[in-house]
Structure 1
Amino acid sequence: MPADLSPSDIAKRATARRAADLVETGMKVGLGTGSTAAFLVSRLGERLRDEGLRFTAVPTSTRTAEQARGEGIEVVTLNEAGRLDLTIDGADEFDADLTLIKGGGGAHLQEKIVAAASDRMVVIADAGKEVATLGAFPLPVEVIPFGWRTTQALVARTLENMDVDGGETVLRMRDGAAFVTDEGNHILDLHLGRIGDARALSAALNHVPGVVENGLFIDICDSVVIGHEDGSVSLRGRLAAEQG
């Protein structure tokens, strides 16, 4: 185990390496975005060089695409790949139903499209991402730049009728300017505290004019590989059932 890794990075590395073993030669694989996914891409590059693993990757962001190409991984678009065998991605929170909050890295729109195009979605996360109730992590909502303040007001009004504990909506900033996604959009981060009904909230948010997509992933993930600070992993969902 590298001595310079923090306990959090040890957990992220462990879950990424376990999930990388799921990739087989000939697969078409969605590659997620974020710090844990970066460990995954690095490990897949190692397998490519050491084992001759060959697969086609569909990245969920420009930064993941750049890292994958740097590792020698074949990168194609989702239009070119069509249906995918597997997507491996991180999460900001997940609950017992494997409902997720994603989008801390600003890529949840592409991540959701890629995951929905996959036969399986496996989440890689450290143990701290498992929660009893979603909502402590701010929920990202991607909105088009045109009239974003109006969209923000409509989102805030929508939240008044939802089973949540808060309703603050904040435009995500970076380097003193509004954050811009790969699609040229902005992100509103919703500070909700607790989400009582994720399905109802997701549907309501996506009905607001100007909203492109929210960061709730419902009935998409089928397994979670959880990394721990001692380098061990545990499983949830389909992988746990398959292991017996």
Structure 2
Amino acid sequence: MIRVDSVNLSFSHEGEVNQVLQGISFAVKAEGSCAIIGPSGCGKTSLLFLLAGLLQPDAGTITITGSPRTGTILQHYGLFPWKTVVENIGLGLQLKGEAKDRIGARVEGLLAEMGLTGFGRHYPAQLSGGMQQRVAMARALAIEPQILFMDEPLSSLDALSRERLQNLILQVWRDKRITTILVTHSIEEAVYLGRQIIVLSQRPGRILQIVDNPGAGSREYRQTEQFFHNCNQLRRILKEEDHGPEA
């Protein structure tokens, strides 16, 4: 569904050109799950924004088959504080001009699916961080996307909430067969949620390795030997990038 060929990206600031990404090439199959991981500042979010069409590359091409609907979930939720949960979730459908009864039915279904029944009239400030992120997820899912882009959506949550929402993301991917692209700093999260893991170098970000991770997709995967092996493999790759190979 997504193909990236020799993509470069740079930003100019006060006359200086800063290279962000260099020679990025990979492909993601339809209904696949891909996690992007790397050191802080390596260009992970910039790469996600390129895939989502929010940035344009300096060189290279990004090809997405067909004209799929896409949804994006941001790190800090991106909810409108003056809108209720119901209004936030239904915003995309409203902007598309959907009928009110369809919006209402879709939103009610998502409230139940996300475990938010009874909170529809609340405002974001009245919710916990985990609940706000579920609202953000429901808003992205309301338009029935075929590709879901996620930029460190769980980074600000406590460990228990993070694990619960990881399971929710996994369930959404399996049940709705959405192609998912996840940026994360967490090695364990990348291995749990990404059947394909792209490891970026320090800036300018280059692909150090693409790790196949076919075991992802099961809640029991965390307890398997392969899960621990792949976590250790990623940890070793990132450690060598940070400090150089051990003697």
**Scaled by the length of structure 2, what TM-score is found?**
0.32
Higher relative contact order (CA 8 A, sep 6+): 2
**Scaled by the length of structure 1, what TM-score is found?**
0.32
Higher helix share: 2
* Rg larger for: 2
